[in-house]
Amino acid sequence: MKKANYQRPTIRIVKCQLQTMMLNESQYGIEGTREDYVTEEEEVWE
Amino acid sequence: MKTTTIVKTSFFLLLAGGLFTACSSDDDGAKQTNVMEAGKTYSLTVTASKGSDDAAAKERRALTMDNGTIRATWAKKEQVFYRDRDWNLQYSGYLKPQSEGKTVPLNGTISSSADLVLPIDIKLIFPKKDWDYTGQVGTLSDIAANYDYATTTANITSIEAYRMDASVPVTFENEQSIVKFTLKDNANAAVNVSSLRISAKGLVKNIDEPFGDEEFGDIIVTPANATNEVFAALRGIKNAQVTLTATVGSDYYIFKRDNVTFNNGAYKAITVKIHKINYPVSLAEVTQDHIGSVVGRNGKVYPNASAAESDGTVAEAMIVYVGTESNCTHGLAIALNDEGETIQDAANSAAASHTAVSGGTWRLPTLTDWQYMLIGCGNGATYSNEPGTVDYTALNSKLGTVGTALHNDGHYWSSTNYFCPVFSPEGDCDMTSFDQTGGMLSFYVRAVLAF
């Protein structure tokens, strides 16, 4: 019984990898947007 | 050969098992759930290989100067990390941009150290998980790779088959200002610096995740080669005095500017007419430029302790105030170290007996001395007959440059009645604290040199 429980995660990993490969890239996930830095007026310190 | 056959057979059996379980309807994630299980790895998007990045994309930086404007885009080589929720819940994994541009898919994996019930907000940070502004070298490419921090929050609403969906798109906010300092002397000639120290109240050195506690202090930019053009990523400066101290060969240059604000997400180019500091000088010759400089036992002022040692003396104090407002002729210098912890009577004598410095007199600071020591270092406060709580980070960061600091967890004695300013880890100095036992408690003692 203990042996069966120990092996189970190994099977899960294989399954997870296969499922991942079957996903459709275009449909899921995060789209991240970067913003430009706002240019402020140049200064002279003297 | 036989071994190879066994291995191959095992692989296909394992693959078959995997396919079977992947298509089965067990509840290990194949169906939609609202729980993110601890220790499980989830993909936020596809993790299938897209082949190696091309060499040009690897070298490309996410920040580019475009006719005076800093453009921010994604580069394939970058990574986006998860900010931990608290000490008991850490995320692992990261995301990578799958293309270049302003808005791109971010792909990767995530796992959590504890179960989470959806929906959850996951905070993202880029370009590093450790939020730290120290170690800058003064170039835009270095800032792009290491200090161009941007954050956002992704709302995770569902999990299906170990895939998590997030609200899209998310916009990353730039968390610091980028400043380009062009350093010149009064004759408009380039001043090429080998290091540039930036000091200001509120200037953030790093942010301690996951609660966002900010550690304040100076930022030292060290270019690979001496230059008069230095880029710096700076966060936290608001209506503060900024001090720029530069090393130029064996000389030191300085410039101070009051009421400076650097806005997060902004870029500013500043030409600074920086000037040389005279060393060594006597205590009677000090100017505002010498605040933060050390005082030797011989009564001369040096840029640092090693310069004092080279001149055959020992550094005993640091200039913190120049003026006559606090019962002094030219200013005040704080001892580099405590005299221990004592009751107030013993504190007075302990401070007065600090190793003698020519041209100055040691004493236990009055409440007025404490105020002017903090004001002189640029804490932005003004003198008050009834001081409240003020910032002491500017004083402490200057002490840090000579390898010492005030204790940030307790009381220091003053000689004014039984007032005992309290210095907190948050950078506040509470000047209203009063020992009701009449000076019989033991507090830290730090002597001040009046000159």
Mean pLDDT to the nearest integer, B370-394: 93
pLDDT at B344 over 60: yes
Q: How close B416 gets to chain A, by Cα (Å)?
A: 40
Taking alpha carbons only, the member of B179, B188, B176 closest to residue B229 is B179
Q: Which pLDDT score, from 0 to 100, does residue B319 have?
A: 98
Q: Which pLDDT score, from 0 to 100, does residue B161 have?
A: 67
pLDDT at B439 over 60: yes
Q: Which pLDDT score, from 0 to 100, does residue B177 have?
A: 98
Residues in chain B within 8 Å Cβ distance of A18: 18-19, 22
In chain B, pLDDT over 70 holds for what percent of residues? 88
Complex confidence, ipTM: 0.78
Max distance between CA atoms of chain A, in angstroms, equals: 79
pLDDT at B395 over 70: yes
Q: How close B275 gets to chain A, by Cα (Å)?
A: 10
What is the Cα–Cα distance from B139 to B161, expressed in whole angstroms? 44
Task: Tell me if B89 sits within 8 A of B95, measured CB to CB.
Answer: no
Q: Which B positions 90-149 lie with beta carbon below 8 A of chain A?
A: 95, 97-98, 102-107, 124
Domains of chain B: 30-173 (no CATH), 177-276 (2.60.40), 281-450 (no CATH)
**For B101, which DSSP code?**
B
Which residues 6+ apart lie within 8 Å of B67 measured at CB? none
**Mutate which of B25, B46, B110 to disrupt the A interface (most A C-beta within 10 Å)?**
B46
Report how far apart, in Å, the C-alpha atoms of B28 and of each of B16, B17, B438 are: 18, 15, 68
With an 8 Å Cβ cutoff, are A28 and B45 in contact? yes
Q: Which pLDDT score, from 0 to 100, does residue B210 have?
A: 76
Which residues 6+ apart lie within 8 Å of B225 measured at CB? none
With an 8 Å Cβ cutoff, are B269 and A20 in contact? no
Q: Which pLDDT score, from 0 to 100, does residue B102 have?
A: 87
Which residues 6+ apart lie within 8 Å of A6 measured at CB? none
Q: How close A22 gets to chain B, by Cα (Å)?
A: 8
Greater model confidence, B75 or B364: B364
Interface check for A5 against chain B (CB to CB < 8 A): the answer is no
Nearest residue in A to B12, CA atom: A14
Interface check for A33 against chain B (CB to CB < 8 A): the answer is yes
Residues in chain A within 8 Å Cβ distance of B72: 34-37
With an 8 Å Cβ cutoff, are B46 and A18 in contact? no
Task: Choose among B14, B15, B46: nearest Cβ to A25.
Answer: B46
Task: Tell me if B278 sits within 8 A of B299, measured CB to CB.
Answer: no
Cα angle value B62/B121/B171 (rounded, 5°): 30
Interface check for A21 against chain B (CB to CB < 8 A): the answer is yes
Residues in chain B within 8 Å Cβ distance of A40: 263, 266-268
Task: Choose among A17, A29, A34: nearest Cβ to B105.
Answer: A29
Least confident interval from B13-17, B135-139, B281-285, B294-298: B13-17
Instruction: Render pLDDT for B191-204 as a digit per residue (tens, 0 to 9).
Output: 999 999 999 988 99
Mean pLDDT to the nearest integer, B402-411: 90
Interface check for B29 against chain A (CB to CB < 8 A): the answer is yes
Q: Which pLDDT score, from 0 to 100, does residue B61 have?
A: 56
Instruction: Render pLDDT for B10-51 as a digit per residue (tens, 0 to 9).
Output: 433 333 333 333 333 344 444 567 788 888 877 765 322 223
Task: Choose among A16, A31, A40: nearest Cβ to B267.
Answer: A40
pLDDT at B256 over 90: yes
Q: Which pLDDT score, from 0 to 100, does residue B425 have?
A: 87
Write the DSSP assignment of B167-232 as a string of letters: -S-EEEEE-SEEEEEEEE-TTS-B--BSEEEEEETT-EEEEETTTTEEEE--EEE--SS-BSEEEE
Q: Which pLDDT score, from 0 to 100, does residue B258 have?
A: 92
Task: Choose among A31, A40, A46: nearest Cβ to B268.
Answer: A40
Confidence at A20, pLDDT banded by 50, 70, 90: very low
Q: Which helix (H) or strand (E) holds A34?
A: strand A30-34
Nearest residue in A to B127, CA atom: A34
Greater model confidence, A23 or B444: B444
The residues pairing with B208 across neighbouring beta strands, listed in sequence order, are B213
Interface check for B39 against chain A (CB to CB < 8 A): the answer is no
Q: How close A14 gets to chain B, by Cα (Å)?
A: 5
Q: Which pLDDT score, from 0 to 100, does residue B376 have?
A: 95
pLDDT at B326 over 90: yes
Instruction: Render pLDDT for B411-422 as a digit per residue (tens, 0 to 9).
Output: 999 999 999 999
Mean pLDDT to the nearest integer, A18-36: 55
Mean pLDDT to the nearest integer, B422-449: 94
Residues in chain A within 8 Å Cβ distance of B258: none
Instruction: Render pLDDT for B98-133 as a digit per residue (tens, 0 to 9).
Output: 888 888 888 888 888 888 888 888 889 989 989 999
Residues in chain A within 8 Å Cβ distance of B98: 25
pLDDT at B59 over 70: no
Q: Which pLDDT score, from 0 to 100, does residue B209 have?
A: 78
Instruction: Render pLDDT for B203-251 as a digit per residue (tens, 0 to 9).
Output: 999 998 777 889 888 999 999 999 999 999 999 999 999 999 999 999 9
With an 8 Å Cβ cutoff, are B72 and A28 in contact? no
Confidence at A43, pLDDT banded by 50, 70, 90: very high
Q: Which of B70-84, B196-210, B250-264, B401-415 tops mean pLDDT?
A: B250-264
